[in-house]
Amino acid sequence: MAIALRAEHEAAMRAHAERDYPHECCGLLLGKFEADGVKRVVETMPISNAREEEARRRRFLIRPEELLAGERRARQQGLEIVGFYHSHPDHPAVPSSYDLEHALPVYSYIIVAVERSATHELRSWQLRDDRSQFDEEEILKGV
């Protein structure tokens, strides 16, 4: 399991997390599922967190119509949604129990830790097929 990101993808996710702090940000990862099992990101697509104001500090929600718009955008470019990203304000970049309940296997879930408007660690996770837990996924940078 691995996900390939270019520097501009990481920079875009970090900037989004810093901009939305102290709320969680969220977005889509558009790219390709490669034959070697690597998910290659071609574009990050920021999405507005649809949670109500106070709930945004600890949760994110993507509206169905925004997910459909992301699927259309990906399809128009010959891509797929390969994953999602979100931030954890003032919390480590590890999946929460909420993340476990709402994730689907196959996709990558990148979490960006942000504290006092500055990002720290950025880690990627994939849910096991049996949905029991996440496994950390290698991030291939600049590939």
pLDDT in tens, 31-59: 999 999 999 999 999 999 887 776 767 78
Output the pLDDT for position 118. 93
* pTM for the structure as a whole: 0.94
- For the cut 70, the answer to whether the pLDDT of residue 12 exceeds it is yes
Question: What is the CA 18 to chain-centroid distance, rounded?
Answer: 15
Where exactly are the structural domains of the chain? 2-141
Q: Distance between CA atoms of 59 and 22, rounded to whole angstroms?
A: 11
Question: Quick one: average pLDDT of 86-110?
Answer: 95
Q: What is the mean pLDDT of residues 21-28?
A: 94
Q: Which class in CATH covers the domain with range 2-141?
A: alpha beta
